[in-house]
Homo-oligomer: A and B are copies of this chain.
Amino acid sequence: MIAVAVVGAKTPGNVGTIARAMKNFGLSELYLVDPPELDPEGDAYGFAGHAREDVLPNATETTLETLTERFHTVGTTAVTNEDARSHVRYPYRTPAELRDSLRDVKTDTCIVFGRERVGLLNDELAVMDEVVSIPASDEYPVLNLGQAATVVLYELRELTVDSYQHPDAIERADESEIAGLNEQFGALLEAINHPDGKREKAGRLFRRVVGRAHPTPREARTLRGILRRAGEYAVPPATDTEER
């Protein structure tokens, strides 16, 4: 199970944003350490979307000590140390590396996010079991609290989302439909008297475009129908058989 904790947030909107990201990516257990007041009419609930119905009202106020006793704790920071001389913020993992390391491990884990501007303090990070940091531009690597939480939870989705909104796979036309479309293009080349010497190349060009696009059954059928009609309606001038 993966929980989320927010330590010392000042802005109710950020707590709501994090609750929303949790619900978007299948998490439900939210812990708040030293939280701002969360007015049901205020920004926290305003930013929480549907998480205002469950994640946010069910959030538990607690202490960092309770969290470190109960969970494998992962502190988050934008500002890491550069090398092993300082080890409060080093070594760290990226969110993707964290996901990979948790994939086959059974442990209750809590991802801990710090306050706005300064994030988690050194003495808070010091008691975490490990540290995660989002790779970002060195010109401005500090994400907003709510945005950072969204990225980390997005990256962990494989471990937390039971079922996605998307269908399992994109439908692709089967090979006979693709072949039919390519043949129809060949028939069109014939119908418009495309120069004999160029037909083979043009057919291959079309096949490659279609091949890269992986058309759906509907796309292949519709395009084939249009090419067929274009071929049937074509009345090319006799001279058109010569090289142009």
Contacts and interface: CB of A to CB of B under 8 A. Distances in A.
Interface of A: 17, 20-21, 23-26, 47, 49-51, 78-80, 82-85, 87, 90-92, 94, 133-144, 146-147, 150-151, 154, 157, 161-167, 170-171, 214, 216-219
Contacts of A141: 24, 164-165
A108 to B, nearest CB: 20
Contacts of A23: 137, 139-140
A87 B17 CA distance: 32
Nearest to A82: B167
Given A84-B171, A94-B166, 20 more contacts: A17-B144, A23-B140, A24-B142, A24-B147, A25-B136, A49-B140, A51-B140, A79-B165, A83-B171, A83-B216, A91-B170, A92-B170, A134-B154, A135-B157, A136-B157, A141-B165, A143-B150, A150-B151, A151-B151, A154-B154
Nearest to A86: B218
Contact of A135 (B144, B147, B161): B161
Copies held by the complex: 2
Contacts of A154: 134, 151, 154
A138 B143 CA distance: 27
B161 A136 contact: yes
A216 B90 contact: yes
B150 A138 contact: no
A206 to B, nearest CB: 19
